[in-house]
Each structure stands twice: as C-alpha cells, then as structure tokens.
Amino acid sequence: MAERFYYPSDEVLAQANVPEYEQRYRYSIEQREAFWAEQAATLAWYQPWDKVLDDSNKPFYQWFTGGKINIIHNAIDRHLTGATRNKLAIIWESEKGQVRSFSYHALNREVCQFANVLKSMGVQKGDIVTIYMPQIPELAFAMLACAKIGAAHSVVYGGFSVEALAARIEDADSRVLVTADGGFRRGKPTDLKSIANEAMQRSPSIEVCITVRNNGLEVQMESERDFWYHDLQSLPIASPRCDTEVMDAEDRLFILYTSGTTGKPKGLVHTHGGYAVYTATTHRMAFDIKPEDRWWCAADPGWITGHSYMIYGPLINASTLIMYEGAPNYPYPSRWWQMVEKYGVTILYTSPTAIRGLMRFGDRWSARYDLSSLRLLGSVGEPINPEAWRWYYEVIGGSRCPIIDTWWQTETGGFMICPLPITPLKPGSATKPFFGNEIGVVDDAGNEVPVGEEGKLVVKNPWPGMARTIFGDPQRYAELYWGDYADKGYYKAGDSAKIDEDGYVWIIGRMDEVLKVSGYRLGTAEIESALVSHPAVTEAAAIGLPHELKGTGIHTYVLLRSGLIGDKHLETELKEHVARELGRIATPESVQFVESLPKTRSGKIMRRVLRARALGQDEGDLSTLEE
C-alpha cells in the first residue's frame, strides 16, 4: 500500500471543474444539505423542493421532497433550445461498422414517438416496462420514453437468458416487454426474441411485446401479443410530440435487478429527483465534463453503469456519448482504439476486465491509432490491479490522463469513492470519498478498524442517489443494508476494504455470496439454483476463484442424483445448462462432482471452506461444520 503517487499535470489542474478537494469536501460534510441543494439547483425543476433531506423514517430516506421534476426534462427537453439542440447526443456504431447518430433534437423525436406508442399500448404512470435488448439506440429510446411518461423501466441485460429474464418479468409483474430479434457478437447474430418468447411462457404477465428489427433473424411472433417496433413508430399514434409527465422527486424512475445473497434477484428502486442530481453531479465533477467532450462509457446499459453513466448522467450534462455494440477485440484487438481515433473520444470509462483483455494483446494495437484526444480514463466494476492500471495509464493514456477509478454499486446509483482529476493517484485505490459522503472501514460492532487493517466498508450518511428500497420488499432493504449498524445509521456495502495512512480507500472485494465475474455481478445462489434445475443434480455449490482476465471465475461443486456418474460429457452439459438458464457470463469454469458439501449444522453451505480448499489455504474455524 506504500505506493508512489501519480500527480496530475499542470494542464489537467488548469482546466479542472473542481479545482480544490479538501475544503470543499469538508463543506459538503458539514453542510450536506446545502451542498446538495446547490447541486440540485443546476437542474430544471417544475417546482422547487420543500425539504432537501427527509430522514423522518430511517432508513427510508427521501430527497428533495415536494419537488416536481422529470429526469427527461433535464436529459432532453431543456437541451432543445439554443445550440445544444443540434449537438450530437448519441453516436452509435455496430460491430460491423454501421453508424447511426442522433442530435438532441433527433433523440427527442425518437423518444416522443416511442412514448406515444407506449401510451397507446396502455402504459401508464407507475407501470413497469421490461426491456431486454442488445446495445442499440432503441434501447436508450425505450428507457427514456418510459421515464418521459412516468413509467418505470426494468432493463434486463441482453446477455442474460431465459430464467433470469423470466424471474425479473415476474417480480416486476410487467405487462409490456420491449425486445429485439437479436444483436451481433463477434460477427454472429445473437438471438433474443426466442429467449423472450420462452421467458414469456414461464412468466405470463406480459400482454404486449414490442420487437425491434435489428439482426434480421427469423422470429416467432404471436398475433394479439407481438408487434414490430418500426411498424408502430410509423403509425399516426407515434406522433413526434409528447408532453413530459410531471413527477414527484421521489417517484420511481427505474428498477434494476441485481444479484444478492439469495437466488431471488433484488429490484433496486431509483427515483427521478435524487438520482438525477447525483448522477449529473458525480459525472460532471469526477470526469470534469466540458461541452466539447466525447464521452464513451463502454459498459452495457443493462447494468447500473450503463444507466447512470452511459445514459442519464451524460445526457443531463448535455454530453455527446458514444455507444458501441460489439466485442472490444473484434475483428481485431484494435477495435476500440480505432473508435477512439475515429470519434475523437476524450474520456473512456470501462472495466478492469476489458482493460486486462486488451492488454493481453500487447502495445502494438493501440500504437497504430492516434489516441491523443483522450484526456481522462475511468475504471469501474472491480478492483483494478496495479499492472492493468499502469498499462491503461501509460499505453492508452500516454501517461497524460488521470485514471478515475470509481467505486460504487447498483444500490448507490452513482460514484461513492473516486478521485477527481486533480487528485494524486495510487494505482489500485479508488482514493477518497466523493462529496457529501463519509466512508468508514469498521468491525462488526461498527467501530473503525486501525489504519491499514481490513474491515467492512460502510457509508455513514444518506446521499441523493441511494436506492430507496428493494421493489416489493422494503423489509429486506432495511435489514440487508441498514440492519447491521442500525444504531449508528451506517449503510453496509458488502465489500471489505482498507484505508491507508493517507486516507486512501483500497477495496478488497465482496464479503457476501456475490461474485464479480468480468465486472458483472452474479450471486452464487443464482448459479446454484440454475444447476439444481438440471434433472441430474440434487445439490450444488458455487464459489469464485481468482481468474487472470475475468477477475473472478465461477467454480462449482455438484452432487448428482444417485446412480448417476459424473463424466466429461455431463460436465459440459451442466456448463451449457447454466449458460442457457442464466446467460453466457455465468458459465462455470469448472464442475466438480462430489459426494457431499461442507455445511453448517443449520444446513448452510460453507463456501468459504470450499474456497480455502481450492486455494490450498487454511480452512479457518470449522466449529460450525456439520461433519
């Protein structure tokens, strides 16, 4: 942890949106509400708020209560006057090199049209529309159209499969699904519609399914239920004018499901007001956003990073954003660098997994392209190892671009710990808390552990971007996140971390049964239940082990029905079964057939024992082990 600092250049310092941290940070803590009120005032409100923070019903905090707003009014409507109207909002490129771009004016037209289509399908304020799509502009239009008319969206990552989609549709009780025939990955068409069809069979709440024609795959459409997106967009009902619904600041903007400790995914709820304020502020300050920026968040909109920093934060800040559908190294490992040169990308925000994946091909691929437009780089999703950090910094950033390593979660809505461009950096540390946040590393009793020691990461205060609840299960929200340190009012992140002598935070990793595989969040319980849904399997355990590229790889242990023999063939079949149920990202690295699983006397699988054994480490305290 005794690392040398990387200092920002004079050029970075000279143009910083936020020229000073310490004093401003102190102010943001001492006068948290005043700080957030100032930030909120940079947005457009239909009616100002009465109270910045309402903490009368902890931990169900509310922000900007009494205020009327719509995030779309901020992300689109207010940009339609003056020069921003004709500024590019979205530049999209497909893997094959097809380009589509939309000015704010054009984006508004697309969103209004689809908003009117949704209305004509009976979608109303408060409904939850499920969206299951590849990374194409229509995905953004669908999300924004929902928000515009006050419906909440629930985006399900396009890499997820039948069971994952079905469970999310069912939990949200969605009536409307927006999907596509499919996308492309590594030159091959991927199939979404048949997965959607199967999911609709398992979860029959969907009455209307709207499909975007994208990759031309043949699909099965059912009359009465299925409609083509483009057919609807060309009907007279799809007028390019649509009023933006006036929402309460605390009205629901979206639900995003994420993995937790049980097999049932949690739908985290975010709101129009606080979320808009938080994503816009963090994006503008941490990434020093300027009007001329070309912002590229190379994440998928199906994850929180895509929601907050591909779509909402950048659009509220009137940025030009880049969207790319495809693999980073297809057809060549220079695909991304070619994009950076072609579009003059100024800020690239991606994951350590992607960086490690590209680093593997060496320096010559990026050397062919002019990357001098880049001025900042970002990282998110998992701890970045110092080796990958240095490669990113030196080879991609030309030792010129600060790396903004942002620690945050689906639950937090936006950055919680991250540097500003002016912050001296240490490779592998997300550095310091963002404004308004007090971060602690504590023991089970909630007391700060000594400097440099590992403990549990907590946030000691509410912030505007926080998830308000778990959809349909407020009790679980209160217990899971706020229950452990209820007396102190701390939010438990579920990560372990250290704070060093300079006050820099070092994230170590998850402490619960959550795995970050290639930056994607998966629960061991989801993988286990997918395995058990196979007729040959009676019990299963999944653990994460270090993986050179993915950060974490999934390893599984399986008990077979009696009489069955675990062989190579069954191993392959089980891996494919998990991929089919959950999605390719959840494919286990290994399946081991075992006679029994280590369990506690209360019957819980002791995954930490499996992990220790796999790593050849000490198994620790085994007093609760059953046998």
Summarize as ranges the residues that interact with ligand 6R9 (CB under 6 A).
Answer: 258, 303-305, 379-383, 405-410, 430, 493-495, 507, 510, 516, 521
3-state SS, residue 154: strand
Closest CB to ligand 6R9 among residues 406, 524: 406
d(C-alpha 594, C-alpha 617), whole Å? 20
Residue 577 is which amino acid?
H
CB within 8 A of 309, min separation 6: which ones?
279, 283, 297, 299, 349, 380, 414
Q: How many CB atoms lie within 10 A of CB 445?
A: 9
Alpha-helical regions (H) of 395-551: 474-482, 524-532
Partnered with residue 442 across adjacent β-strands are: 448, 456
Q: How far is the CB of 78 from ligand 6R9 (least distance, A)?
A: 27
- Is the peptide bond prior to 331 cis by the omega test (within 30 degrees of 0)? yes
Residue 117: which H helix or E strand, with range?
Answer: helix 104-120
Q: What is the dihedral of CA 290, 71, 120, 173, to 10 degrees?
A: 120
Closest CB to ligand 6R9 among residues 137, 265: 265
Sheet order of strands, 455-459 included = 439-442, 455-459, 491-499, 505-510
Q: How far is the CB of 519 from ligand 6R9 (least distance, A)?
A: 6
Q: How far is the CB of 408 from ligand 6R9 (least distance, A)?
A: 5
Q: How far is the CB of 351 from ligand 6R9 (least distance, A)?
A: 8
Closest CB to ligand 6R9 among residues 375, 516: 516
Q: What is the CA radius of gyration of the chain?
A: 24
Q: How far is the CB of 303 from ligand 6R9 (least distance, A)?
A: 6
Q: How many CB atoms lie within 10 A of CB 106?
A: 18
Q: How far is the CB of 223 from ligand 6R9 (least distance, A)?
A: 39
Closest CB to ligand 6R9 among residues 396, 505: 505
Q: How far is the CB of 506 from ligand 6R9 (least distance, A)?
A: 9
Asked whether 69 and 464 are in contact (CB, 8 A), the reply is no
d(C-alpha 278, C-alpha 283), whole Å? 8
Closest CB to ligand 6R9 among residues 305, 461: 305
Closest CB to ligand 6R9 among residues 150, 413: 413
Q: How many CB atoms lie within 10 A of CB 236?
A: 7
3-state SS, residue 349: strand
d(C-alpha 387, C-alpha 428), whole Å? 9
Q: How far is the CB of 345 from ligand 6R9 (least distance, A)?
A: 20
Closest CB to ligand 6R9 among residues 117, 255: 255
Asked whether 315 and 284 are in contact (CB, 8 A), the reply is no
Asked whether 559 and 594 are in contact (CB, 8 A), the reply is yes
Q: How far is the CB of 516 from ligand 6R9 (least distance, A)?
A: 5
Closest CB to ligand 6R9 among residues 184, 408: 408
Q: How far is the CB of 131 from ligand 6R9 (least distance, A)?
A: 18
Closest CB to ligand 6R9 among residues 319, 429: 429
Residue 439: which H helix or E strand, with range?
Answer: strand 439-442
Q: How far is the CB of 457 from ligand 6R9 (least distance, A)?
A: 8
DSSP string, 28-47: HHHTHHHHHHHHHTTS--SB
d(C-alpha 432, C-alpha 418), whole Å? 6
- Distances from the Cα of 605 to the Cα of 88, 523, 558, angstroms: 52, 14, 12
Closest CB to ligand 6R9 among residues 259, 334: 259
Closest CB to ligand 6R9 among residues 70, 410: 410
Asked whether 425 and 403 are in contact (CB, 8 A), the reply is yes
Asked whether 321 and 310 are in contact (CB, 8 A), the reply is yes
Closest CB to ligand 6R9 among residues 213, 608: 608
Q: How far is the CB of 299 from ligand 6R9 (least distance, A)?
A: 9
DSSP state of 82: G
Q: What is the dihedral of CA 95, 97, 100, 103, to 10 degrees?
A: 100
Q: How far is the CB of 528 from ligand 6R9 (least distance, A)?
A: 19
Residue 171 is which amino acid?
D
Closest CB to ligand 6R9 among residues 430, 570: 430
d(C-alpha 542, C-alpha 605), whole Å? 10
Which single residue brings its beta carbon nearest to ligand 6R9? 410
